Amino acid sequence: MINFDSLTLKKFIEQNCEFLTDARIQKIQQPTRRDFVFTIRKQGETRKLYININPQFYHVCFMDKVNEEKRLIEIPQKPPMFCMLLRKYLENARIAKVNQPQYERILEFYIETYNELSEKIYLCLAIELMGKYSNVILYNYDTNLILGCAHNVGSEKSREREMAGGLPYVYPSGRPNSWYAVENSLANKDEDINKIIDDYYAECIFEDKFNRLKERCKQIVNSKLSKDKKSLKKMQYTLEKECNSDKYRLYGDLIMANLYNFQDYSKCIEVFDYENETNLKIELDDTKTLKDNANRFYKLYNKGKNTILKLTELTSELSLQIEYYEQILYSIDAAENISDLVEIRHEIEPQSLKDKKSDKNISSQPLEFSIEGIPVFVGKNNRQNDYIVSKLSKDDDYWFHIKDSAGSHVLLKSAHPTDKQIYYCALLAKKYSKAKNSSKAGVIYTKRKYLKKPPKAALGYVIYKNEKEIIV
């Protein structure tokens, strides 16, 4: 990670000073607490100035459309208070001068505007790009009093330099005596410095957001997976215990068969077990009659039988749920861009779709290949897998999937595939699965018409018949 140094800022100002001077600030947006977008216009040209004061990615540049998309900028419906303050004073105002205090990582916009009494006033917007101390401060140039800051700094954070509305603005202490340049400084390149800054930090921000979203999705799925695995283990343990409930039926039958051979209120009886041809000692409740003891054993048997039926059903559902989460984990690892992860997040956290309306339009497409002129589609997540099966496929197309493992659905758009096409699709099914690093794996395939999605099944889940298997 290359830090934004004072030499890079100096070069940026030198190359863009002409455009910024006498330009007007048309629009101000604050997507988050740490980044700002200023729409600036001059002589028919409009550009977006991006200011980032994140301690990791602090920088300033003009964004192009491609890098704006990479930064995934989402404008909130309700702007922060500092953004409202900037709009009040700076929208439609003229930038009279652009300055950088010598050797500092501070970009200053001296702005000519008017107050509520239509009196001309001069303000200064100071953009301080100094790592964890990065900030954006608006102050009155005539009185030197701060109007507002992106981050207020109180006495508990800094004894030397407090920053808040109403306090005087002062430069940071310990000012440098020379230009600060890091190793591999972006300023060392001879190209357009703005494009270098924009491309480099847009990629850094994209990678950071991609990795954080990936980890967030993994945490959610792993948490649910761990919980379900624990529940399944407990159910299987209970199921093993209840499997012995048949002995209670036998106890009841033997007691009823010997009802008149023993006395009521006995602690135990010894009877001949006709099923196993051996003598059997049965412990009884001596406060109950023999018949009541028999009925007690029948109740235990019926309870165990019902428990087994219910637990068998629940363990089956839980096993499918675990398989589903393992499929999602594979999809997270296979994700190649933000839109893939956003789709997965909406699948595992449906409420996230309500929280961020802008994400509703984000959708990614399945991978598309071609073999001998025939299109082949590969789903990267459950939503795409479902789309491939339900929307893209026809009855006579061929469907491929790795056997007994999480992986992508592969669809071959051909009713009469050649051996080469089948082998190629099997290779794709193995490549886009958890078994991709295995020396060999089984791949099943069948016609689309033999697939069926059970009612209320999870996204992307299908059952199949008439399948064949190929080892790759």
Of 78-92, 116-130, 226-240, 242-256, the least confident: 242-256
Question: Binning pLDDT at 50, 70 and 90, where does residue 304 land?
Answer: confident
Which tens digit of pLDDT belongs to each residue from 52-76? 999 999 999 999 999 998 888 888 8
- Are residues 321 and 374 both part of a single domain? no
Q: Using an 8 Å Cβ cutoff, are 295 and 252 in contact?
A: yes
Domain-terminating residue out of 135, 153, 188: 188
Q: Check residue 424 and give its pLDDT.
A: 95
Which amino acid is it at 35? D
What integer is the mean pLDDT of 239-260?
Answer: 86
Instruction: Classify 409 in phi/psi space as left (phi over 0), alpha (psi -120 to 50) or beta.
Output: beta
- Are residues 142 and 272 both part of a single domain? no
Domain-terminating residue out of 173, 188, 203: 188
**Cα angle 342-52-174, degrees, rounded to a multiple of 5:** 145
pLDDT at 245 over 90: no
If we measure between CA atoms, which residue out of 65, 299, 101 comes closest to residue 199? Answer: 65
What integer is the mean pLDDT of 319-347?
Answer: 89
Q: Check residue 361 and give its pLDDT.
A: 47
Q: Check residue 351 and give its pLDDT.
A: 62
If DSSP codes are grouped into helix, strand and coil, which group holds residue 288? Answer: coil
- Are residues 166 and 20 both part of a single domain? yes
- Are residues 303 and 377 both part of a single domain? no
- Residue 64 sits in a domain whose CATH number is 2.30.310.10
Q: How far apart are CA 66 and CA 48, in angstroms?
A: 12
Work out the mean pLDDT of the chain and round it to a whole number: 91
Q: Which helix (H) or strand (E) holds 471?
A: strand 468-471
What integer is the mean pLDDT of 1-24?
Answer: 95
Range of the domain at 312: 211-334
- Are residues 328 and 393 both part of a single domain? no
- Are residues 76 and 132 both part of a single domain? yes
Domain assignment present for residue 152? The answer is yes
- Residue 429 contacts by C-beta under 8 Å, 6 or more apart in sequence? 400, 401, 402, 407, 408, 410, 443, 445
- What percentage of the chain reaches a pLDDT higher than 90? 68
| Total number of domains in the chain | 3
DSSP per residue, 71-127: TT----SS--HHHHHHHHHHTT-EEEEEE--TT-SEEEEEEEEE-TTS-EEEEEEEE
Q: Check residue 119 and give its pLDDT.
A: 86
- Residue 148 contacts by C-beta under 8 Å, 6 or more apart in sequence? 81, 82, 85, 86, 137, 138, 165
pLDDT at 359 over 70: no
Domain assignment present for residue 202? The answer is no
What integer is the mean pLDDT of 150-173?
Answer: 90
Domain assignment present for residue 348? The answer is no
Q: Check residue 281 and give its pLDDT.
A: 92
- Are residues 218 and 313 both part of a single domain? yes
Domain assignment present for residue 341? The answer is no
pLDDT at 357 over 50: no
Beta-ladder partners of 146: 139
pLDDT at 157 over 90: no
Domain assignment present for residue 451? The answer is yes
Domain-terminating residue out of 153, 188, 223: 188
Domain assignment present for residue 352? The answer is no
- Are residues 281 and 378 both part of a single domain? no
pLDDT at 223 over 90: yes
What integer is the mean pLDDT of 84-99?
Answer: 95
- Are residues 12 and 144 both part of a single domain? yes
Which tens digit of pLDDT belongs to each residue from 382-440? 989 999 999 999 999 999 999 989 999 999 999 999 999 999 999 999 999 999 989 99
Domain assignment present for residue 273? The answer is yes
Q: How far apart are CA 39 and CA 95, in angstroms?
A: 12
Domain assignment present for residue 294? The answer is yes
- Are residues 237 and 307 both part of a single domain? yes
- Are residues 240 and 300 both part of a single domain? yes
**Cα angle 48-52-56, degrees, rounded to a multiple of 5:** 145
- Residue 187 contacts by C-beta under 8 Å, 6 or more apart in sequence? 5, 7, 8, 10, 11, 181, 193
Q: Which helix (H) or strand (E) holds 268?
A: strand 268-273
- Are residues 234 and 182 both part of a single domain? no
Which tens digit of pLDDT belongs to each residue from 380-389? 899 899 999 9
The most confident of the ranges 204-208, 244-248, 455-459 is: 204-208
Question: Binning pLDDT at 50, 70 and 90, where does residue 352 land?
Answer: low
